[in-house]
Chain A
C-alpha cells in the first residue's frame, strides 16, 4: 500500500492488555491545572522502568468539570491493578495534592474502584472532612492554601497499551516534523495517550539484550547507523526513524488515533522525505491485540 508516495508496510503493531484509570485535575486557571497534570504524568513514558505510562487525555472546559473550574483529564496505564493503584496514589499525593489550588476527581466510572483521595485524606491529620454528594464521597483536606478537595475513588478499567507506528524518513528533521504533525491530530482523539516525550520516542526497543540483566534494548533493526552491521529493516535512503506509541481505553480508540496519525504523516508524503510507515511487533506471539497498518488505512 502506498499513500502519497509513502509505503505502508504489510505489518502490524502488537499491543498488550493493561489496566487504566482516568482522573480530572482542576485548578484556579488552566495554567495551574496543566502544571499539576504535567507533574502527575511526568516520568511515565514506559512501564519498563517507570511503573506506569501516563499522559494528558485532553483539556477540559469549566463546563465539563465537577467544580466548574478549568481542568485537565489525565490517564494512567499499568500492567496490573495493584501497580496502577500504587502509581495513582503516589502521583496524586506528590504531584496534585501539592500543586496550588488543585482539586482531583474521578474521570472514569467502573465497578472496580481504586483509591484516589481515599488514603491521601490522612495527610489531613484528623482535620479532614468527608462529604457525600450525589452518592460520591469526597474528602476535604486542609492545606496551606485552603482546602484540597478530592474524590475518594476513581474507576479502573481494562485497556490496551503498546499500539504504535514507526515513521521512516530521509532525515531526522523530516521524521520529527512528521511526528509532530501526527501528534497534533492524535491528541484530539479522546481515550488515548501518547506517553513518550512530546508523544514521540526515538529509542524504540526490542525485547531482551545481550546483557542478561536488561530486559529491553535498542531496536537495532531500525537504527540507521547500524545498517551495515545488523539485520536491518532499513533501506539505504532511510536516515532516521521515530516511533509513536499509543495507549488507549479500547481497540477502537487506538485504531482511530493510528489512522489520523498515519494520515497526517502521509499528507506530508514522499515529497517531504517520508518514505515508509512500519510498526513494532514481536511476531504476534506476545500481545493479543494486533493493529494491522494496511487494514487501518484501508
Chain B
C-alpha cells in the first residue's frame, strides 16, 4: 500500500475546509468515494477530485502535496495515522487532534494545534498566533502531546495551555505562555513582551534572558534534576532539541505570574 496522496491542482481563491480528509474518516473508503467527498470553500462545496489529484490507497498515511496557506483544518481531530503536508498549511491545523502524527514542511497559520489532546505535530517553518491555544471563549487549550516548531512562532503561544509540550527552535512572539494552567513551553530563540502573562502553573524554558514583567519574582539560580529527564525525552525528535549540547540543568528560576496564582515558573539557561 502506498500513501494516500492529494496533490493540489490549483489554488482556490477561497479558503478550503480540509477537515473531512483525516485518516479515521477515510478508513474503508474507496478512491471513488473519497473523490466524491465535498470540501467547503467559501460558499461553494468542491468535490475532492475538483481540487486534488488522488493517488495511493493507504488511508492511514495521508500526504498533501502543493499545499498552501488557505487549506484550513488539516488533521482536525485526527485520531491515529499520519498526515504529511508538503508546503504551507492554513489555520486550525491539527485542531483538537486526538492522536497520531502531523508533519508540515512549510509554514502554518493561526490556531495551530488549538485544543490538541495528544499526538505529535511538527512544523518545519513558522507558525502563526495562538499555537496550542484555546479557541476564543474557551478556557482550556492544548491538553497533551508534543508540538515542534523549527521556525518562529507568533503571539500567544500556549494560551490557556493545560498539558503537553511545545518546542520552538526559533523565536516566540508577545504573550508567550499567557494564561497557562500547566505544561511546558521551550523556546530556543528570543521571546517577546508580556511573557507568561497571567500564567497560573507550568514551565517556560528559555535559552535567552526574557523581558519579564514586574509580577515575576526571582527565585535564584538552581540545578534542577528534572531537566535531564526532559532533555532526554527530546532525543527522539528530528530537532535541535535532540542535540545533547543544547541541554542544560543550571537555570535562573523566576516564579509568577504573581498577579495570578503565581505557581508557574520561567527557567532561563545560565550561560
* Chains A and B come from one and the same complex: yes
Residues of A near B225 (CB, < 8 A) are: 67, 103, 140, 146-147, 149
Is B223 close to A, CB under 8 A?
A: yes
Contact between chains at A146 and B223 (CB < 8 Å): yes
Most buried by A among B223, B229, B233, B263: B229
* B-facing residues in A99-145 (Cβ within 8 Å): 103, 126-127, 129-134, 138, 140
Residues of B near A134 (CB, < 8 A) are: 233
User: What distance in Å separates the Cβ of B237 from its nearest Cβ neighbour in chain A?
Assistant: 12
Most buried by A among B226, B233, B265: B226
Residues of A near B156 (CB, < 8 A) are: none
Is A155 close to B, CB under 8 A?
A: no
Most buried by B among A68, A130, A133, A146: A133
**CA of A146 to CA of B227, assembled, Å:** 13
Contact between chains at B163 and A68 (CB < 8 Å): no
Contact between chains at A138 and B222 (CB < 8 Å): no
Residues of B near A132 (CB, < 8 A) are: 144, 163
Residues of B near A66 (CB, < 8 A) are: 229, 232
Contact between chains at B224 and A131 (CB < 8 Å): no
Contact between chains at A146 and B226 (CB < 8 Å): no
Contact between chains at A67 and B224 (CB < 8 Å): no
Contact between chains at A133 and B226 (CB < 8 Å): yes
Contact between chains at B184 and A131 (CB < 8 Å): yes
B170-191: CB near A (< 8 Å → 1, else 0) gives: 0000000000001010000000
How many residues on the B side are at the interface (Cβ–Cβ under 8 A)?
18
**CA of A132 to CA of B226, assembled, Å:** 10
Contact between chains at A131 and B203 (CB < 8 Å): yes
Residues of A near B223 (CB, < 8 A) are: 146
User: What distance in Å separates the Cβ of B228 from its nearest Cβ neighbour in chain A?
Assistant: 5
Contact between chains at A131 and B226 (CB < 8 Å): yes
User: What distance in Å separates the Cβ of A152 from its nearest Cβ neighbour in chain B?
Assistant: 13
User: What distance in Å separates the Cβ of B171 from its nearest Cβ neighbour in chain A?
Assistant: 24
Residues of B near A129 (CB, < 8 A) are: 201, 203, 263, 265
Contact between chains at B230 and A133 (CB < 8 Å): yes
B218-242: CB near A (< 8 Å → 1, else 0) gives: 0000111110111011000000000
Residues of B near A140 (CB, < 8 A) are: 224-226
A210-233: CB near B (< 8 Å → 1, else 0) gives: 000000000000000000000000
User: What distance in Å separates the Cβ of A201 from its nearest Cβ neighbour in chain B?
Assistant: 37
- Picked from A127, A133, A147, the residue with its CB within 8 Å of the CB of B224 is A147
User: What distance in Å separates the Cβ of B257 from its nearest Cβ neighbour in chain A?
Assistant: 15
Query: A66's closest neighbor in chain B, by CB?
Result: B229
**A interface, over-half SS:** strand
* B-facing residues in A65-124 (Cβ within 8 Å): 66-68, 103
Residues of A near B203 (CB, < 8 A) are: 129, 131
Interface bin, chain A: 10 to 19
User: What distance in Å separates the Cβ of A217 from its nearest Cβ neighbour in chain B?
Assistant: 47
Query: A105's closest neighbor in chain B, by CB?
Result: B229
* A-facing residues in B133-181 (Cβ within 8 Å): 144, 163
**CA of A33 to CA of B184, assembled, Å:** 29
**CA of A69 to CA of B207, assembled, Å:** 24
Residues of A near B182 (CB, < 8 A) are: 130
Contact between chains at A138 and B265 (CB < 8 Å): no
User: What distance in Å separates the Cβ of B221 from its nearest Cβ neighbour in chain A?
Assistant: 11
**CA of A133 to CA of B233, assembled, Å:** 7
A199-216: CB near B (< 8 Å → 1, else 0) gives: 000000000000000000
Query: A149's closest neighbor in chain B, by CB?
Result: B225
Contact between chains at B233 and A68 (CB < 8 Å): no
- Picked from B201, B224, B228, the residue with its CB within 8 Å of the CB of A68 is B228
**CA of A134 to CA of B225, assembled, Å:** 16
**CA of A198 to CA of B228, assembled, Å:** 35
**CA of A130 to CA of B222, assembled, Å:** 18
Contact between chains at A147 and B233 (CB < 8 Å): no
Residues of A near B263 (CB, < 8 A) are: 126-127, 129
Residues of B near A131 (CB, < 8 A) are: 184, 203, 226, 230
User: What distance in Å separates the Cβ of A268 from its nearest Cβ neighbour in chain B?
Assistant: 45
Residues of A near B233 (CB, < 8 A) are: 133-134
Query: B264's closest neighbor in chain A, by CB?
Result: A129
**CA of A127 to CA of B255, assembled, Å:** 11
User: What distance in Å separates the Cβ of B227 from its nearest Cβ neighbour in chain A?
Assistant: 9
Residues of B near A146 (CB, < 8 A) are: 222-225
User: What distance in Å separates the Cβ of A213 from its nearest Cβ neighbour in chain B?
Assistant: 48
Q: List 15 A-B contacts (CB under 8 A).
A: A66-B229, A66-B232, A67-B229, A129-B263, A131-B184, A132-B144, A132-B163, A133-B226, A140-B225, A140-B226, A146-B223, A146-B224, A146-B225, A147-B222, A147-B224
Nearest 6 pairs between A and B by C-beta?
A: A149-B225, A134-B233, A133-B233, A67-B228, A149-B226, A133-B229
Q: A66-B232, A146-B225, A149-B225 are in contact. List 6 more A-B contacts (CB 8 A).
A: A127-B263, A132-B144, A133-B226, A140-B224, A147-B224, A147-B225
Which residues of B pack against A, CB within 8 Å?
144, 163, 182, 184, 201, 203, 222-226, 228-230, 232-233, 263, 265
